[in-house]
């Protein structure tokens, strides 16, 4: 599982998580749009955006986002539309019974 945060300044956020909190960088997007940082079993992904609009979201890795969307929708779960994110990850918003947003993610080749 990873937690995604939107940040205004990716460089500043990367420095905070690595220098202050002790995370190590496992991935930095060539375009500078997002980065992944690890500390033990915890992974935080940082993406450039407006943190006030989105907040954080727990992301669960799956093999097939489209199949999960069909399965969850058939079970009556509120689901969003599968989208491409930076061309490398397909994500799907899913909402729990209290309206909390989770995200399912599939790495796309």
- Domain hosting 3: range is 1-55
Q: What whole-number distance in Å separates Cα of residue 50 and Cα of residue 84?
A: 19
pTM of the model: 0.65
Say whether both 61 and 50 belong to one domain: no
Overall number of domains in the chain = 2
Q: What is the pLDDT of residue 54?
A: 63
Say whether both 45 and 93 belong to one domain: no
Say whether both 48 and 62 belong to one domain: no
Q: What is the CATH number of the domain that holds 9?
A: 3.10.180.10
pLDDT tens digits, one per residue of 14-60: 998 999 888 999 999 888 889 999 988 889 999 888 876 666 788 88
Burial status of residue 69 (CB atoms within 10 A of its CB: 0-12, 13-18, 19 or more): buried
Say whether both 36 and 26 belong to one domain: yes
């Amino acid at each position: 599982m990873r937690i995604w945060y939107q940040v205004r300044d990716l460089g500043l956020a990367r420095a905070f998580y690595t220098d202050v909190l002790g995370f190590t960088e496992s991935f930095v997007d060539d375009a500078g749009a997002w980065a992944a940082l690890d500390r033990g079993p915890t992974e935080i992904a940082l993406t450039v955006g407006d943190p006030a609009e989105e907040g954080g979201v727990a992301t669960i890795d799956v093999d097939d986002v489209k199949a999960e969307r069909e399965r969850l929708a058939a079970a009556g779960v509120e689901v969003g539309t599968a989208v491409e994110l930076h061309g490398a990850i397909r994500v799907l918003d899913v909402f729990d019974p209290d309206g909390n947003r989770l995200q399912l993610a599939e790495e796309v080749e």
